[in-house]
Structure 1
Amino acid sequence: MYPFALCLLAAVSSVSASTAQTCKTLDAKIPGRVSYPDSTAYNASISSYYSGQERDLNPGCIFRPTSTSEVSQFIKLVTSSGNTQFAVRGGGHTLWPGAANVDGGITVDMRAMNSLSLSEDHKIAHLGAGAVFSDIYPQLTPYNLTVMGGRVPGIGAGGFVTGGGITFLSRKHGFSCDNVYGYEVVLASGKVVYASQSSNSDLWLALKGGSNNFGIITRFDLAAFPLGNMWYSDLSYNYTDSVLSANAKAFSKFMKPANYDSAAMMGMFVYYTNQGFGVSNAMWYVEDVANPKVYDAFTQIPNLGGVSELATVDKVVNDFGQNLPATTGRSYQLTFTFNNPPASVYLQLIQIWEKRITALSKVEGLFIEFLFQPQPVTNGTNMFGLTPGKTDYVLIDMTAAYDNASDDALVESVINDIVKQQRALLKSSKYLVDFIYLNYADISQNVLSTWGAGNLAKLQAVSKKYDPKGVFQTRSPGGYKLFKK
């Protein structure tokens, strides 16, 4: 018996006959690209997901294409093979189960499609859709260029760009998806198309936030921006009332439109672990300027020290990434957006969090991050429904990491309760914005409905045009789907 057949029999309890046959046929048609449970390649792919929830899923096989032609062949095969379901993954950083993996189906691991080339004028970076930004940045550094990618190691282009993408340059140039010249896309029919402002422009716009609803992207043509050294600082503080008050005042002032500096991006982190509370600020300035004055209100708060450096993007990403684990046991994340309020409101948001979060004090391996950051200043070429050029949107990312699945229900309940109270406070004071950022959201958050009924209708129309049989709505179940079941 062939080795792949043995693997399929071992996994028969969760893999349908249709999926098993599709894996076998795919392996025969494109040799060397399919791996099965318990093989080295399969285990390496599964173990590289960021969250335990995604690592818990076991596809019938994993397909690792190396070309657009192979992706096209896959789509044609899988859509003609009964009810086989599939998922598409890049970096694998989305936390909730099924975002980029599928139990019993076929997972397409795009990471071998990681090419990078520059246009002759160095204004466009042609990026394979499976590329990981922390691998791309060092290749651009010799040219003093960067693209709008992830700020920590391991972030893949596919999900990051199609879900929006927040970068060091986001206050100057918006979301990453605002800066895509074009996409090479394999549609549900297997046809390969190019979507740009002048060709398939409706698809080009829909992919600016529309995630995995329309096809499998195989190449991004991204704007390349000049950037040599940038400034990065990460300072820690004692968790005291005076420090919190000073940070709230500094952040509220930083976010006022009158103080807007397009080169200045930052994150104010309040966090909690089994050892107690903490505060830190990460500050990034995308010009070769040390200790920019725009951050004086933060750096002058009595602190415990930390990083302060002028460095290239690749080094900043690696240095900042040291604050985060390579993977987590379990994870949960919620997000929301609001208009910049007075410092007193920030303190109320922190007090709500502080009062409730101690209910998790006995959760093993706990790390809760409550992040305040500026939302990108969008140019409006996306599907989010946000006001172009608005500089005072604030984005919250509340993420929990912990060890055991037995704590899932408690963690989710507490985090949801905190966010519910915080949103109620902001809504009553008229600061809450009805927008949920896809890349920070949990699957329980009704993301697409917050972008406006008109934008949702546009996305649905594009889906019906380019995927009339609804393959990416029904056969690829991960992500935020356009049509309710």
Structure 2
Amino acid sequence: MRGAFLLLLLPVTLVSADTCSTLAKTTDIDVAFPVSIDYISEQKKYWSSSCVALKPSCILFPTSAADVSVILQAINDSDENFAVKSGGHNPNNYFSSVDGGPLISTARLNQASLDANTGVLRMGPGNRLDDIAAKLDGSGWTFVGGRIGNTGTGGLILGGGLSYMSGQYGWAASSALEFEVVLANGTIVTASEKENADLARALRGGGNNFGIVTTYTLQTYRQGNIWGGNVAFLHKDKVASKLLRAVRDFTEYNTDDRAAVIVTAERSTGLVVPDLIDIELIDTWILFLFYDGPTPPADLFRNFTEAGVPISNTVKTRTYSDLIGGSNWVVVKGSVVQIGTETIPMPSSENAGTVMEGIHAHWRDISGKTLLEPGIVASIAYQPFQRSIARQAKARAPDLIDADDDAERLIIEMNYSFLPKPSYNRMANTLEATYTGVRQRVLGWQEEGVLDDVYCPVFMNYGFYRADYWGRLRPESRAFAQEVAAKYDPNGFFRNRTGGWKP
């Protein structure tokens, strides 16, 4: 009887095998356990302190696709949830973070090899944008990446990737020529136009649902010095109206695809101690201006730079590496970060005031109620989503976003960062009210004929976990993603064992 009882326990022991201990004992893969220096250091490298607070059972540091294959096979033998981390910039809990299961860090998959003749770059997901910019500095080539240097390349590309250079080259994912992918069962495959083309398409905008990419092969582009930086204004009614009109007009009228802008409004308070220290309110506009050349044409950005009297101006001719490397001031260290987004049709000139100022007033109303939250920084960013972005994306490679160039759009990003972790759910409700309020207004304006009824997907890189990412894509894109997932991950390994939006 005792032997039979032990036999009954054996399958349970096998099913619940500890991936971390197994790999530490049987492989040369670096396995960092809690309290170790590598574990503590890597676990701090998230944009949101809510992700830092989740504690993986160990952190795995593969250095090759073969290592990742071994890791996935070991996780298959367990019942643990896991996560894969590139730069940790996605603040949604469990998207690139995990509590109680293994975390696969790609930090040591940081290879970068450039063909100086063709501009083809092979790089690992362990690189951040400022890493790659620095590695390419002086080569005469540039990559289509995001705007904040600390952003991880893996999450950026799998979510699409909006760049200063998207008007010229489409999404960051549009320049991905080939992916080296480790599938759920540990098989290593290539996804490109010639091999597993369906998988390659699904990886452009499909997130972490199909495999772990260990190498991205990207086309880079010729570039010399660029012009860019930030211009800041105090938030005043006349300045607000001028900047909101300027970003709308730029979206419609700009024909120079080398130019890009982001118009952000920021609200924050200084240290708040009730009854002891007064609230010091910070209420500003911060513009991100970019031109892919040493000097922009005269008057190209005049509607922005002359909207008021600047309180600071860092715009200058510089290297792209210098611009990206100097952008990390936007990362609020030690804070809980929550990001949400909406895509809206560009309003006509006659309806610009109604739409742009209506959305901004909504944001002012909601964000104004958060200003007593310790450490609060509330921001909204208006970003042109011009026809040229969709046109260039379609010309280069198929993706799941599948944006048409029949209309101009704007991508609006809404952020809250704050200090108290117990405020997470309450502030999540606030963020949801912020972006759904934008959506409700857009739908109302469309019913009234104020806005055109155009396809407006949710941009994955800025999406909040409560958003319906897949429901806002075209139905055929979602169906395609489901087919690809069923083909390459028939047992639902990534669907059932990792976080993120699932098709």
Q: Secondary structure at the match of 1:422?
A: helix
Q: Secondary structure at the match of 1:112?
A: coil
Which one is further off, 99-108 or 429-438? Answer: 429-438
Within 5 Å, give how 1:446-457 maps onto structure 2: 446-457=468-479
Separation in 1 of the partners of 2:130 and 2:407? 27
Q: Secondary structure at the match of 1:458?
A: helix
Separation in 1 of the partners of 2:456 and 2:407? 16
Q: Secondary structure at the match of 2:285?
A: strand
1:150 aligned to 2:160?
A: no
Which one is further off, 211-220 or 131-140? Answer: 131-140
Q: Deviations over 1:241-293 (max 9, x none)?
A: 1111111221121111x433211111101121121421121111112224653
1:295 aligned to 2:301?
A: yes
1:384 aligned to 2:380?
A: no
Separation in 2 of the partners of 1:415 and 1:120? 45
> Which of 489, 492, 500 is equivalent to 1:467?
489
Which one is further off, 406-415 or 174-183? Answer: 406-415
* CA distance 1:289–1:411, change in 2 (3 Å): same
| Aligned Cα root-mean-square deviation (Å) | 1.8
Within 5 Å, give how 1:408-427 maps onto structure 2: 408-427=424-443
> Which of 161, 165, 172 is equivalent to 2:161?
165
Separation in 2 of the partners of 1:149 and 1:360? 32
What runs of 5+ residues in structure 1 fail to find an aligned partner? 1-15
- Paired residues of 1:260 and 1:391 also in contact (CA < 8 A): no
1:314 aligned to 2:321?
A: yes
Measured after TM superposition, the shift of residue 419 of structure 1 is 2.3
Which one is further off, 191-200 or 414-423? Answer: 414-423
> Which of 195, 208, 212 is equivalent to 2:208?
212
Within 5 Å, give how 1:209-248 maps onto structure 2: 209-248=205-244
Q: Secondary structure at the match of 1:270?
A: strand
Which one is further off, 452-461 or 410-419? Answer: 410-419
Measured after TM superposition, the shift of residue 434 of structure 1 is 3.5
Residue equivalent to 2:368: 358
Which ranges of 4 or more aligned residues in structure 1 deviate by more than 4 Å?
Answer: 16-20
Separation in 2 of the partners of 1:391 and 1:174? 15
Residue equivalent to 2:379: 369
Residue equivalent to 2:133: 137
Q: Deviations over 1:53-112 (max 9, x none)?
A: 111111111110001111111112221x23122211000000011011111111000010
1:478 aligned to 2:499?
A: yes
- Paired residues of 1:384 and 1:455 also in contact (CA < 8 A): yes
> Which of 251, 261, 269 is equivalent to 1:266?
261
Residue equivalent to 2:189: 193
Separation in 2 of the partners of 1:359 and 1:314? 38
Residue equivalent to 1:8: none
Which one is further off, 367-376 or 108-117? Answer: 367-376
1:37 aligned to 2:59?
A: no
TM-score (normalizing by structure 2):
0.88
* CA distance 1:201–1:72, change in 2 (3 Å): same
- Paired residues of 1:243 and 1:301 also in contact (CA < 8 A): yes
Separation in 2 of the partners of 1:323 and 1:457? 37
Q: Deviations over 1:121-157 (max 9, x none)?
A: 2321001122212111111112111111232122111
* CA distance 1:232–1:108, change in 2 (3 Å): same
Separation in 1 of the partners of 2:111 and 2:484? 28
Separation in 1 of the partners of 2:49 and 2:154? 20
Which one is further off, 430-439 or 281-290? Answer: 430-439
Measured after TM superposition, the shift of residue 351 of structure 1 is 1.1
Measured after TM superposition, the shift of residue 189 of structure 1 is 1.7
Aligned length: 462
1:102 aligned to 2:98?
A: yes
Separation in 2 of the partners of 1:308 and 1:71? 42
Separation in 2 of the partners of 1:439 and 1:195? 22
% identical equivalent positions: 25
Q: Secondary structure at the match of 1:454?
A: helix
Measured after TM superposition, the shift of residue 299 of structure 1 is 1.2
- Paired residues of 2:64 and 2:109 also in contact (CA < 8 A): yes
Q: Secondary structure at the match of 1:293?
A: coil
* CA distance 1:189–1:407, change in 2 (3 Å): closer
Q: Secondary structure at the match of 2:138?
A: helix
Separation in 2 of the partners of 1:291 and 1:234? 18
The residue type paired with residue 438 of structure 1 is M
- Paired residues of 2:14 and 2:78 also in contact (CA < 8 A): no
Q: Secondary structure at the match of 1:426?
A: helix
- Paired residues of 1:19 and 1:60 also in contact (CA < 8 A): no
Q: Secondary structure at the match of 1:53?
A: helix
Measured after TM superposition, the shift of residue 187 of structure 1 is 0.8
> Which of 458, 461, 464 is equivalent to 1:436?
458
The residue type paired with residue 494 of structure 2 is F
Measured after TM superposition, the shift of residue 32 of structure 1 is 5.1
